[in-house]
Amino acid sequence: MRTPLLAALLAVCVTTTAATAAPDPAPASNPVGDPKVASSDDGKYFDANGNPTYKIDKNDKVDWYTFSGYRRFNGTCEVCHGFDGSGSSFAPDLTQSLKTIGYNDFQNIVVNGKQDVNTAQSLVMPAFGSNKNVMCYLDDIYVYLRARADGAQPSGRPAAHEDKPKTAIQNENDCMGP
């Protein structure tokens, strides 16, 4: 008669966890949030906070934006941050950084740049606010890096991806212009 006892213990654990988790953590103390998909809109996925997130199925097929982010990241950011974001001697490992940098801070850093310059070092992240090849794909790059930081997407090209959604085609045309 082990099973009912185990079930009872599990029930206690679940209740305890639920009780501790009850007061929602303030967004400021947890800017990254749970990457779990809470909603979607034409092939774009969002977490419970409404921030973009990735979706990777059990066959390693990724959503369109994660795949697009992989390509965009490795077109523009990789020169400094290393292949797949894993860092270099002069730019941080983003697969670590994105564990604590949330969506809003990420956008802010990429749009405006970031500097840490002193006598010992000179670290300069350029501002990409006027670079359409980055701005038109900011969410794509974010979800890709989010998947990398969570260990959900290994290094290298995603094995397979969802088709490009109509909305992505439309937004790309609007953003990039003629």
Under 8 Å between Cβ of 28 and 105: no
Cβ count near 112 (within 10 Å): 12
51 binds ligand HEC (CB under 6 A): no
Sequence-separated (6 or more) residues with CB below 8 Å from residue 79: none
128 binds ligand HEC (CB under 6 A): yes
Between 81 and 148, CB nearer to ligand HEC: 81
Binding map of ligand HEC across residues 69-108, x = CB under 6 A, - = no contact = -------xx-xxx--------xxx-x--x---x----x--
Answer for which of 37, 125, 127, 136 binds ligand HEC (CB under 6 A) is 125
Tell me the closest approach of the beta carbon of residue 159 to ligand HEC, in angstroms.
23
Distance CA 47, CA 34 (A): 7
Label residues 141-159 b or e (16+ Cβ within 10 Å = b).
bbbbbbbbbbebbeeeebe
175 binds ligand HEC (CB under 6 A): no
114 binds ligand HEC (CB under 6 A): yes
For residue 36, give the amino acid letter.
Answer: K
Residues that bind ligand HEC (CB under 6 A): 76-77, 79-81, 90-92, 94, 97, 101, 106, 109-110, 114-116, 123-126, 128, 134, 141
